[in-house]
Amino acid sequence: MGSRRQFIVQSVGAFAGFLAVDSIFSRAARAASGVYTAGSSAGRCLVVVNLQGGNDGLNTVIPYADPNYYRARPSIGVAQSEIVKLDADLGLNPNLADLKELFDAQRLAILQGVHYPNPILSHFRSTEIWQTAAPDRYVTDGWAGRYLDDAQLPANNLFKGVAIGPVLPKMMIADKTDVPAIADLRTFGFNGKRDEQRQADMILNGAADLYPFESPYLSLVQDVEHDAHAASLQLPQLVAGYKPAVEFPKTPFGQGLNLISAIVNAGLGTKVFYISLGSFDTHVNQRQRQDSLLAQFAGGMKAFYADLAVHKSDDRVVTMTFSEFGRRVEENANRGTDHGTAAPMFIVGGGVKGGVYGDHPSLTDLDFGNLKWHTDFRSVYATLLERWLGVSSTPVLGSAFPTLSFVS
Amino acid sequence: MSADQSTVSQYRPTGSLDPASALSPYAGAWTPKLAAHLLRRAGFGGSSAEIDRASASSMNAAVDKLINFGPDDLPQSPDADLSYGKGVPPAKQRAANIAMQLWFLNRLLQTANPLQERMVAFWSNHFTSAVGGGATPTMLVNQYDLFRKFALGKFSDLTHEVASDPAMLYYLNGAQNNKKRPNENFARELMELFTLGVGNYSEDDVRESARAFTGWTVNRATGEARFVPRLHDDGTKTFLGQTGTFNGDDIIDIILRQPAAGRFVAHKILQAFVYDDPEPELVAAAADQFSSSGYDVRALMNTLLRSNVFYSPRAYRALVKSPLEVAIGTLKTLGATAVITPIDGAIAAMGQIPMHPPNVAGWPGGAQWLTQSTVLARLNFVNRVINMNRPAKTVGPNAGTTGAAAPGPAMSMASSTDWLGGVAMTDGAAVADRVLWLTVQGDATLSQRGEVISYLQTDGVGNPVTLNGENIDEKIRGAMSLAMALPSYQLA
């Protein structure tokens, strides 16, 4: 906590002094001046999509040539004729048809059989494991948060990481970096003009001054209020020059990707984005819900990369999906599936070497009815950290993991 | 791994616990600040008058009043058409949902039994359910009545009741759990989130107990739970080391004989009412009492709300207010008499859709409440509500120049001069102190107090202003809005 508290005092000092002499937007301009250098990892960013609730990998990337698939999925199996075939064995759920173009352009890598040692079938602990990259211990910060703390990014940039949605995911929790969680740009700000300046002063002036009580949450509240005030004044100005080149889907997921594209194209220097889609917790009537969510995902990705391409930014944005776990191989009695283990991940973008990586886990050699994983998710993170973001992965992940070849 | 480990956070208060005296009765000074603390934790905050009454009595009398409640005279269910499901137009279904939420919120605001309603909110975030997947607003209303009935009852009784509650049967797929193909959802969450915590059972225990809970369904016509013997698996199960032809009630009894159950629930209650990440010694002491009393929640709350640890500086303002606490507390402070739309939507913007937890784990609370978006929504909420009963003359061309929030529907609450509570309006310092008492019970820094005084005594560009009948309404609203933007206001 020491480092966090120190950071608050410093940033408050800078902010307060600046308020006295200039308008709010000159600071914004400074933040925006630390923009990327094309061609180096400095301008690259990572978008993480959480398919939350446990996406059924087996109905996402389908081993359609394996008769065991249809034996395990008599009512919810996807018919061969509907599958978007990638090769002689493997195909995509038809609702992912929009991804086929990216696959054919070698901009989609599919990593099969990814999970972590000693799988846990709890949504919450498993989500925490994916977000902290710590399957064997409990930690308070997230893996992207640790990266942002260590990445030597400009200290005055309030947008090093951005989470879409009202909740700050554990992945983005850092010791020194306060990542904004933005539900919607239109509501990200004070609705009343009155006393805005004073509200800021009130919030800031408390920091250096003594409260009549101590609270473990006091510095966090001050920090978030301060940064929310500053970020909400800056962001609309910073992205004002961006105009979407395509129509994004009108879903919250599509609109969230639109905001990410705005921030990417405004060149704010954001390194990691987070957005979620769900819930994929399909215990009952899986096809209906999963199909609709997968269509939202693929439609969003298609619009996102089309928009980035028009703005000539597609080469510096890689998107990675994850879900806390895949689901049971055998369907249950309610045309759904229960919690499982290993599942595929999608890696999309200009820096990606497209194709299928790793074998599909066996549908018969199972662990209590669940797929056996063969690729540790931390190898995927290590690859993105080392080969895409250009940093050493060991400090972020706690130890070294072999990198994979899906980044060109 | 135990429940204690899984919730390690950096938000345990500094300083150290004296385990020997932590749960002993508090015998220190009874101050207005501690009375307000009690009302924030054991309810949704106090109005100015409620804080005065509690602080004028003794700590024991104030706790007695909270704990020994009788029946209330508020509606048991919403006075609205709650038709829901197939064949009901979407607009009607939305209206039913909103009526349900407003019923719940109004009970929180209007109740004479704040601790009972506080426990309803607690249990509904423990035994989570939500409308959808078969569960209707009527089922949720009935489930919340169950939480109200068992608010301070036996946790064991409540757990048995919840296992066959219609909303729960739908929410965790118990209604689809049958002999032929068991559905593990309820069995898993029962152990993981409701009673034991991860690490105190195996995957085999999940599978076996799911079989024991088979056979419960919901009659769609009546909305009532029923047990269908032919769907129940009456075979032998081995669960937590015991073997027998167990049914769901047997499974719950076995679970509640585990020492982990008392620790898990005591930990959660301490975290909700005292402070975050309570020390294992404190959890153990509370759990011992809780388990040996047969999971008597009233006895546990009686101990906690009178304890040294509860009134210690380590517990004071040590928790983050939930959006419900911000909303209801603000309305009480402002003297509002009812919750109306759009307050329900504004609470959702702060990150808490009333009666609709994000997932089966409920709202995690603490630091999770505080993101840049939700903090802005909190400031916007208070700003909006403070301006919801503006006198007609200030709504007009000038409203925009003062930056007031757009006037919403008329809201019944005290007037801005009522908020002053008799303080001389011309005395800027006295008005500021009154505002800071109403909002944060004086928990502001000297410079924050200075800012409020300066706001009251100057105009927007620094010229001196004399408070008078013309400007006082605008100035009090502004000062209240500033005070409710203070970091202290976000802390319970």
Q: A167 vs B313: CB contact, 8 Å cut-off?
A: no
Whole-number mean pLDDT of chain B? Answer: 91
Whether residue A179 contacts residue A153, with contact meaning beta carbons closer than 8 Å, is answered with no
Tokens encoding B27: 């015998």
Q: Nearest Cβ partner of A202 from B377, B402, B485?
A: B485
Residue B464, amino acid? P
Query: So what's the ipTM on this one?
Result: 0.92
- Indicate yes or no: CB of B448 within 8 angstroms of CB of A284: no
Residue B489 CA to residue B483 CA, distance in Å, equals 8
Q: Is the Cβ pair A168, B361 closer than 8 Å? A: no
- Using CB atoms within 10 Å of the CB of residue A245, give its burial: 0 to 12 exposed, 13 to 18 middle, 19+ buried: middle
CB contact under 8 A, A201 and B359: no
B381 touches chain A (CB under 8 A): no
Minimal C-alpha gap between A209 and chain B (Å): 6
Q: Find the helix packing angle between B90-110 and B137-149, rounded to 10°.
A: 20
Tell me if residue A233 falls in helix, strand or coil: helix
State residue B191's pLDDT score.
97
Q: What residues of chain B lie within 8 A of the CB of A165, using their CB?
A: 373
User: What's the pLDDT score for residue A161?
Assistant: 95
CB distance A221–B490 less than 8 Å? yes
Q: Give residue B451's pLDDT band: very low, low, confident or very high (50, 70, 90).
A: confident
Instruction: List CB contacts (< 8 A) between A163 and chain B.
Output: 371
Better-predicted residue by pLDDT, B395 or B32: B32
The single residue listed with the structure tokens 């809201």 is B411
Comparing CB atoms, the residue among A183, A221, A283 nearest residue B487 is: A221
Q: How confident is the model at residue B391 (pLDDT cuts 50, 70, 90)?
A: low
- Average pLDDT of the residues in B306-315: 98
How would you write chain B as a 3-class SS string? CCHHHHCCCCCCCCCCCCCCCCCCECCCCCCHHHHHHHHHHCCCCCCHHHHHHHHHCCHHHHHHHHHCCCCCCCCCCCCCCCCCCCCCCHHHHHHHHHHHHHHHHHHHHHCCCHHHHHHHHHHHCCCCCCCECCECHHHHHHHHHHHHHCCCCEHHHHHHHHHCCHHHHHHCCHHHCCCCCCCCHHHHHHHHHHHCCCCCCCHHHHHHHHHHCCCEEEECCCCEEEECHHHCCCCCEEECCEEECCCHHHHHHHHHCCHHHHHHHHHHHHHHHCCCCCCHHHHHHHHHHHHHCCCEHHHHHHHHCCEHHHHCCCCCCCCECCHHHHHHHHHHHCCCCCCCCCHHHHHHHCCCCCCCCCCCCCCCCHHHHCCHHHHHHHHHHHHHHHCCCCCHHHCCHHHHHHCCCCCCCCCCCCCHHHHHCCCCCCCHHHHHHHHHHHHHCCCCCHHHHHHHHHHHHECCCCCECCCCCCCHHHHHHHHHHHHCCCHHHHEC
Q: Nearest CB to B181: which of A53, A121, A333?
A: A333
pLDDT at residue B9 in the model: 60
Determine, for residues A216 and B8 on separate chains, whether the beta-carbon distance falls below 8 Å.
no
Distance CA B200, CA A101 (A): 47
Give me the half-sphere count of Cα atoms (radius 13 Å) on the Cβ side of residue B279.
16
Residue A25: the pLDDT is: 21
Chain B residue with the nearest C-alpha to that of A219: B487
Whether B429 has its CB under 8 Å from any CB of chain A: the answer is no
How buried is A140 (Cβ within 10 angstroms: 0-12 exposed, 13-18 middle, 19+ buried)? Answer: middle
Q: How far apart are CA B273 and CA B292, in angstroms?
A: 21
Out of B318, B375, B377, the one facing A216 most closely (by C-beta) is B318
What pLDDT digit, counting tens, does each position of B93-141 carry? 999 999 999 999 999 999 999 999 999 999 999 999 999 889 999 999 9
Could A215 and B198 be called an inter-chain contact, meaning their C-beta atoms sit closer than 8 Å? no
CB contact under 8 Å between B318 and A189, yes or no, is no
CB pairs under 8 A between A and B: 217
Low-confidence ranges of chain A (pLDDT < 70): 1-42, 191-209
Reported pTM: 0.81
Q: For position A224, what pLDDT does the model report?
A: 86
Mean pLDDT value of segment B246-268:
98
The listed range with the strongest mean pLDDT (A211-225, B27-41, B397-411) is B27-41
pLDDT at residue A206, as a whole number: 56
